[in-house]
Amino acid sequence: MTSSDGLSVLFAGSPDKLLLATTAQETGLALQDLTVGDDEVDLDASIRLRDITQNGEFTTDANGQAYTEGAGRIGKISFDFEHRDPEEKTRQFAKGSIEDYVFQSRGQVANLAATTPFPHGDMDSTATFGAVRAQLDAEIDGKFALVDLAGTSGFSQANVDRSTMSYSGGLTGSAVRISGDALPVGAIEFGIDASVFSLTLPTQPDPEPQPFSLSFSHENITLSQAVWDQFDPDGVLVQDPANLRFSISGTAIVKEQLADPEFDPLTVTSPPMAVESLVIDEIRLSALGAEFLAGGELGFDAEEFDGFDRLPETRGFVDLKILGLGAAMDGLTRAGILPPGHSGMVQMMLGLFAQQGPEPGSFESRIEIGPGGEVSANGQRLR
């Protein structure tokens, strides 16, 4: 069921250049009690858009190729979702909102008359948004868990062309609270100043290696004092904000048409991509006064990516570094989280494949993988 209030749609222009202007006070879509095959789904879902303005342009060139470009703003997007399963005694509920959603896009419309296996056009879209609120509630066998999420602002960007698709997004000022009697502990509250995600993948089959990349980060992860008090009531641990950064890149040979809507990753019997090289640009985790860092370069025999039952022959190296581990583990021991003696045991085990670094309490190691699966740490063969 659809609804609208104050909807105005204006068309103008010529057959080769069509202009579209849309405004609306509110429009919405609601779904209820769906039937999927022979099964009835007890479902209520709705989405509402308020204060909508959108302008678009649809043009066609002399060769019949169509292009589209548009921009607009939605003052507020709200959604509700509830699913019930009486037989399984479960219930899932979600509601939320996004404010001040501003977007723009441009692209080349798919050429349906093309003779390529999967014709598609180029597309580029960006969006920014303001405050985000969401509430997720799940009930299973009479016990429930509730997640409250809030954010101050965010962005998203997507691009698809004939050989690559990429997506990036981010959220700032995140605040999360998890509660409910399904948790073994009390309410968990934490915040993240900034979260960013980025992914670039090749999509077209090609015998030559194509670049890919993946990265994400969480800056200044903080726990509420109530959470710290649950496992560190005496305040012996370093409670500074934690940080996580992860970034890899490399090349891969694409074997499947990944941008094809009919491609189903759940039904493939062999990897759709054969990774040829992998660069660990940065892995960095800091928490409890300690820091873990990793980087390296790995190469793979792409021809051996023919199934999911084994890894191909690997070669290369990984550099590892740990700072402040001893002090962090001593703090965990004094807080009663680790049994006495575990700190020294862990550092002794690290000594088997790591070397003392220049900073007190630091360890460094280079893990090398050679032909035939030979593995060594700092020049000492492990396998």
Q: Which helix or strand (DSSP H or E) is residue 229 part of? A: helix 225-231
Q: What is the pTM of this model?
A: 0.85
Do the Cβ atoms of 110 and 121 come closer than 8 Å? Answer: yes
Query: Within its chain, how far is the Cα of 231 from the centroid?
Result: 29
Q: Give pLDDT, residue 115.
A: 44
Pairwise CA distance, residues 155 & 172, whole Å: 9
Decide: 159 and 121 in contact? Cβ < 8 Å. Answer: no
Residue 225 φ/ψ, nearest 5 degrees: -65, -30
pLDDT of residue 183: 78
pLDDT at 372: 77
d(CA 362, CA 325): 7
d(CA 213, CA 205): 17
| Amino acid identity, position 186 | G
Query: Which H or E element spans position 149?
Result: strand 143-151
302 SS3 class: helix
Strands 375-377 and 380-381: antiparallel
**pLDDT block averages, 10 residues each, the chain of length 383:** 82 88 92 72 88 92 85 96 77 92 88 48 90 90 87 95 91 94 83 97 89 97 91 90 97 81 68 88 96 94 65 87 87 85 72 75 87 81 74
Cα gap 292→64, rounded to integer Å:
56
pLDDT tens sequence across 186-245:
788 999 999 999 999 998 888 899 999 999 999 999 999 988 988 888 999 999 999 999
pLDDT at 88: 67
What does the block give as tokens for 306?
A: 């023919």
Supply the pLDDT for residue 184. 75
What whole-number distance in Å separates Cα of residue 139 and Cα of residue 91? 5
Handedness of CA 340, 342, 347, 352 (dihedral sign): positive
Domain boundaries, the chain: 236-383
DSSP notation for 49-103: EEEEEEEEEEEE-TTS-EEEEEEEEEEEEEEEEEEEETTTTEEEEEEEEEEEEEE
- Measured between alpha carbons, how far apart are the two ends of the chain, in Å? 64
Helix-, strand-, coil-residue percentages of the chain, each rounded to 5 = 10, 60, 30
Q: What six digits make up the tokens of 93?
A: 């509920």
Q: What is the pLDDT of residue 32?
A: 78
